[in-house]
Amino acid sequence: MRQSIDQYTLDKQQPPQSLQDLVNGHYLKEIPTDPFTRKKDWVPYISEMDLSHDQRTSGLLDVHSNSAQVGSDGSAYNTW
């Protein structure tokens, strides 16, 4: 999904506003199922970003699992 977000941003010169934008733009076939929650309940990370030295915008930059589970290293899956 992160590669799709990056490619969308490069192609459109703006980040997607949602995962559905990636589906609508044919960057993803469908929103994937989170392997930990077994749902399509990803937590979007929306933030501002610089597109160029004089252009700033906000949108979807990343996604995290919605799971409260903890990995073997002690960190929560939703921080990966």
At residue 73, does pLDDT exceed 80? Answer: yes
Amino acid at site 75:
S
Calculate what percentage of the chain has a pLDDT beyond 70: 100
pLDDT reported for residue 35? 93
Q: How far apart are CA 30 and CA 40, in angstroms?
A: 10
Whether residue 74 lies inside any domain: the answer is: no
Whether residue 78 lies inside any domain: the answer is: no
Counted domains in the chain: 1
Whether residue 40 lies inside any domain: the answer is: yes
pLDDT in tens, 20-52: 999 999 999 999 999 999 999 999 999 998 877
pLDDT reported for residue 63? 95
Whether residue 55 lies inside any domain: the answer is: yes
Whether residue 72 lies inside any domain: the answer is: no
3-state helix, strand, coil in the chain (%, to 5): 25, 30, 50
pLDDT reported for residue 31? 97
Q: Tell me which residue of 4, 39, 40, 42 sits closest to 25, measured CA to CA.
A: 4
Cα 69 → chain centroid: 19
Q: Which domain holds residue 31?
A: 2-66
Predicted model pTM: 0.85
